A and B are shown apart, each in its own frame.
Chain A
Amino acid sequence: MEHPELALDNPPASAPVDAPEHWRRFAPDLDPAKVLFSELVPGGGHWSYRLPRGTALRITALDAGANLSVVLYSAQEKLERYNMPDSLKAQHTAHYTRGHVLMSDMGRSMASITADSLGWHDPLGLLLDNRLMREKYGDHAYQQYRNGMYRSGRDGLLIEIGKYGLAKRDLVAPVNFFSKVTVDEEGRFNYVPGHAQAGDYVDLRLDMDVIVAYSAAPHPLNPAPGYPANKIGLAVWRSGPAPADDYCRAFRPENARALHNSDMLYLI
Chain B
Amino acid sequence: MTATAIRIQESALDPAHAVLDHTVPAGEPYLLAINQGQTLRIVDCEGNQAVDVIFYNRDEVAEHYSATETILRQSGIYLTTGSVLYSDDGNPMLTIVADTCGRHDTLGGACAAESNTVRYALQKKFMHSCRDNYLTALQHADIGLGKRDLVPNINFFMNVPVTETGDLTFADGVSAPGKYVELRAEMNLWMLVSNCPQMNNPCNAYNPTPARFLLWNP
Contact = CB atoms under 8 A, between A and B. Distances in A.
Contacts of B72: 126-127, 132, 220-221
Main secondary structure of the interface of B (DSSP, over half): loop
Interface in A123-166: 124-127, 129, 131-132
- Using C-beta atoms within 8 Å of the partner chain, give the interface range for chain A: 35 or more
Contact of B150 (A93, A105, A107, A108): A105
B62 interface: yes
Interface in B36-90: 62-64, 67-69, 71-72, 75-78, 88-90
A106 to B, nearest CB: 5
A83 B168 CA distance: 15
B167 interface: yes
Interface centre among A108, A131, A187 (most CB of B within 10 A): A187
A85 B162 contact: no
Interface residues of B, number: 50
Interface centre among B63, B75, B118 (most CB of A within 10 A): B118
Given A131-B90, A188-B76, A169 B64 contact: yes
Interface in A82-123: 83-86, 88-95, 103, 105-108, 120
A170 B119 contact: no
A187 B117 contact: no
A181 B160 CA distance: 17
Nearest to A220: B72
B122 A79 contact: no
A183 interface: yes
10 contacts: A84-B107, A85-B107, A88-B108, A92-B170, A105-B114, A126-B71, A183-B163, A184-B164, A257-B118, A260-B122
Interface of B: 2, 4-5, 62-64, 67-69, 71-72, 75-78, 88-90, 107-110, 112-119, 121-122, 131, 147-153, 160-164, 166-170
Q: Top 8 nearest A-B pairs by Cβ distance?
A: A85-B109, A107-B114, A95-B166, A187-B4, A187-B78, A183-B162, A125-B68, A187-B76
